[in-house]
Amino acid sequence: MSEVRARVLVPPQVKRGEVFEVRVLIQHGMETGYRRDLEGRRVTRNILHSLVCRYNGAEVFRATMSSGTAANPYLRFFTRATESGELAFWWIDDNDATGTASAKVVVA
Amino acid sequence: MKRRAFLFAATVFALPVRSQTPHVSRIDALVWSLTNGADVTPGKVKLALPALAESGHSVEMSVRVESPMTEKEHVRAIHLIAEKNPIREMASYYFGARAGRAEVSSRVRLAKTQRVVALAELSNGTWWSDAVQVEVGEPSCGEDA
């Protein structure tokens, strides 16, 4: 599988204790396994099924998904600012292809 | 006196919750696999989906649960069930006390017109739910979905 691209969006700066919004958008077909190609063959299912978000190593959010999540999965959730550091995402799909993306968190 | 006041309050506040019809069957196999047979009470959860979706390929979904999100009292997980999708388990989102807010938005796929149910598991072991009926114009999964 080709390189999976993703974008993580967080506010440029947050206050300590503030609950801030995190948005992640991953380029992934989320192939359902029900679609057929031009020759009528079933396109093999390939779903990005698990995603974890860690804030300086501690898990703050996790998602498990099925074909019920649209192509190019988008997630928006919240977390509380504790200290400056990194918000790191990790995910895996049905082909065992994994990906990572991260964003810097600046706590003022 | 105190006991009378308590009984009065308990009756008044307990009745409206009790009278709500549940969104899911407690003995549904998928529901049971999540809840382990616990009662699921309608309330606390607010699931937002459009009443009408032109295309089922990508539908904006947002779900929120009322909770102080403290170590003692928080939302552990929110599970989405798409009643008429080939795979009913739509997604599960897991939180901790650190989330600060039990809210998540995403874009979902809907195979046809159906009801979507959100189940929330709280740190005290109770389960709460909400459901939204979505009319789907163009289905998502092709001819044999």
Instruction: Find the residue in A nearest to B88 (Cα).
Output: A68
Task: Show the domain range for A21.
Answer: 6-105
Ranges of residues in chain B with a pLDDT under 50 are 143-145
Q: Which residues of B touch A79 (CB under 8 A)?
A: 98-100
Task: Report the candidate in B88, B90, B75 with the shortest Cα–Cα distance to residue B126.
Answer: B75
Which among B96, B99, B108 is the nearest to A69, CB-wise? Answer: B108
pLDDT for the residue numbered B10: 59
> How many Å lie between the alpha carbon of A102 and the closest alpha carbon of chain B?
17
Tell me the backbone φ, ψ of residue B4, rounded to 5 degrees.
Answer: -65, -45
Q: Per the structure block, which two tokens stand in for B77?
A: 């997980």
Give residue B144's pLDDT.
Answer: 43
Would you tell me how many other CB atoms lie within 10 Å of the CB of residue B105? 16
CA distance A38 to B53: 27
Please indicate if any CB of chain B lies within 8 Å of the CB of A82: yes
| Contact state of B87 with A82 under an 8 Å Cβ cutoff | no
Q: Are A29 and A69 in contact (CB under 8 A)?
A: no
pLDDT of the residue at B13 = 58
Predicted confidence pLDDT, tens digits, chain A (108 residues) = 455 589 999 999 999 999 999 999 999 999 999 989 899 999 999 999 999 999 999 999 999 999 999 999 999 999 999 999 999 999 999 999 999 999 999 999
Whether A1 maps to a domain, the answer reads: no
Would you kindly state where each structural domain of chain B is located, as residue ranges?
23-138
Q: From the CA of A2, how many Å to the nearest CA of chain B?
A: 23
**How close A86 gets to chain B, by Cα (Å)?**
15
CATH number of the domain that residue A53 is part of: 2.60.40.10
Nearest chain A Cα distance for residue B122, angstroms: 15
pLDDT attached to residue A1? 47
Cβ–Cβ contacts within 10 Å for residue A71, how many? 19
Cβ–Cβ < 8 Å for B115, B134: yes
Flag whether the ipTM exceeds 0.95: no
- B14 DSSP assignment: H
- B61 vs A: CB within 8 A: no
In whole angstroms, give the CA distance from residue A11 to residue A16: 13
Residue A44 burial (CB count, 10 A) = 10
Work out the number of other CB atoms within 10 angstroms of the CB of residue A66: 22
Chain centroid to Cα B39, Å, comes to 13
Fold designation for B23-138: Immunoglobulin-like (2.60.40)
Distance CA B114, CA B110 (A): 8
Q: How many contacts, defined by CB atoms under 8 Å, are there between A and B?
A: 102
Find tokens 């989320």 and name the residue: A30
Q: If contacts are CB pairs under 8 Å, which of residues 20-79 in chain A contact chain B?
A: 30, 32, 34-36, 55, 58-71, 73-79
Q: For residue B19, what pLDDT is reported?
A: 53
The answer to whether residue A54 sits within a structural domain is yes
Query: How many separate domains does chain A show?
Result: 1
Which position has the token pair 């699921």? Answer: B40
Residue B139 has a pLDDT of 76
> At A25, which amino acid appears?
L
- Chain B residues near residue A66 by CB distance under 8 angstroms: 87, 89-91
In the prediction, which pLDDT does A56 show? 95
